[in-house]
A and B are shown apart, each in its own frame.
Chain A
């Protein structure tokens, strides 16, 4: 019994090889990430301080902090998400829960998938044409946020639809069988059991829009803007603003004699903001998962 035939030995060897290869790939994914973060933090170390966050750039951006850029990014991301998250989630609920499987729904689904794959620079040009010029918003926070919202919308719709579809069909049928309307079913069963996935999808878009330079470059972001330090309401919607991603680009390419650590410090702040938001989203997901009910 249990003798090792050559076939079994080959199989076991294949198993070991497969596990090793897959394991190495997983490791290969983590290593660059750690290296990037480590490298950035080491290079940025001399500049990192609380003051760096809450003071404005001075001396042609060679000194001071990055407050105006940080605040600009917060404005852009916050406003764009306030626009795209509700529209995207509601649209996805319609598409997944109400729409009949006909040509209309298929066209929308096709549009969503394709829009999600459009490069950000194309969205930037669309934003320039539609919001800045046609709608007459000019280069402003509003125009830039709208552009970011248009960019994130299809991804939010796609991820929300995915989460909704993960709720088993049998739950819906059970509800319909006892006379519940579609909305009652969505409200009581579908949404409570997909909210963690929906929120994760939405929050992931924070990092995406915070990191994008192209869509805001033409539509509202500027190299430099004078601002009151530490004031959270310093920008108005019609203003142009600075943004971290744009600031990083500017400092690296346009400003001579900037401190060596400055671009790295900006990158650390950008990365830190994104990681902070992602951590919150993961914590939220873990919390909501723990209440998962089947």
Chain B
């Protein structure tokens, strides 16, 4: 176990009704690194993220046990989920531009947290859009609708929005499935920069993406951890588990 863990998940179990989707998993996410999570569809990757920012609460029949400790605090016991979610940025698979102007899209979260100062918001919006590599494309039309942007731009807008509440952890859930390779590479560059400021959890279907970015990678399969190790090991010719080798190399799927 690493000593400097930003997030420590211990014996996390999640079931929807009678169907258990996470079967007691435990792992540590080190601070200021990109932590990759790979695994086929239905393996529980998204459910895992939803436990971390407690949006799992919105599923009426969800039952969670175990612990998700962020900076030593069990988020499953947190009452102020809104502050928790501000601490943990979340980017969904499909880009969501809110039906607001580009500016308001990014200013939405700070405003929801009570920020009113226009000058402060101006600075924040610019910084987040720059961080998300979108500023140069939209700086002259911040008043136009976020929903009118192209898919790739909307995904970067979504990332800018996730950054706007200055999270300490950024979770990306298959952020690249709806955008083109060029934009994907640009965002990947952004993520490499961002890991200096925050801890990033990168859930991805693209095995190569995890290999490129993640320091450590977790292979999740059917709600259980198959293997967790440094990415060099996971993506090497001889990972600890044969299943990992087969999945990474596309032998089973």
Contact = CB atoms under 8 A, between A and B. Distances in A.
Given A180-B82, A180-B108, A175 B98 contact: yes
Interface in B10-62: 53, 55, 58, 60
A294 interface: yes
Interface in A148-181: 170-171, 173-181
B226 interface: no
Interface stretch (B88-96, B132-140, B187-195, B207-215): B88-96
A294 B94 contact: no
Contacts of A170: 92, 94, 96
Interface string B60-89: 100000000000000000000011111001
A100 interface: yes
A191 to B, nearest CB: 12
B5 interface: no
B113 A179 contact: yes
Contacts of A173: 55, 58, 92, 96
B98 A171 contact: yes
Contacts, number: 75
Given A189-B98, A193-B99, A184 B112 contact: yes
A292 B164 CA distance: 25
Interface in B106-156: 108-109, 112-113, 145, 147
Given A102-B60, A170-B92, A170-B94, A179 B99 contact: no
Contact of B112 (A171, A179, A193): A179
A176 B108 contact: no
A180 B213 CA distance: 30
**Residue from B96, B97, B161 having most chain A Cβ neighbours under 10 A:** B96
Contacts of B96: 170-171, 173-174
B158 interface: yes
A173 B94 CA distance: 12
B147 to A, nearest CB: 4
A179 B85 contact: yes
B109 A178 contact: yes
Contacts of B165: 178-179
A104 to B, nearest CB: 12
B112 A174 contact: no
Contacts of B86: 178-179
A181 B112 contact: yes
A171 B154 CA distance: 13
A176 B82 CA distance: 8
Contacts of B53: 177
12 contacts: A170-B92, A174-B158, A177-B55, A178-B161, A178-B165, A179-B82, A179-B113, A181-B82, A184-B112, A193-B99, A293-B145, A294-B145
Given A177-B55, A178-B112, 20 more contacts: A100-B60, A170-B92, A171-B96, A173-B92, A174-B92, A175-B108, A176-B85, A177-B90, A178-B90, A178-B108, A178-B109, A178-B162, A178-B165, A189-B98, A189-B100, A292-B99, A293-B99, A293-B100, A294-B99, A294-B147
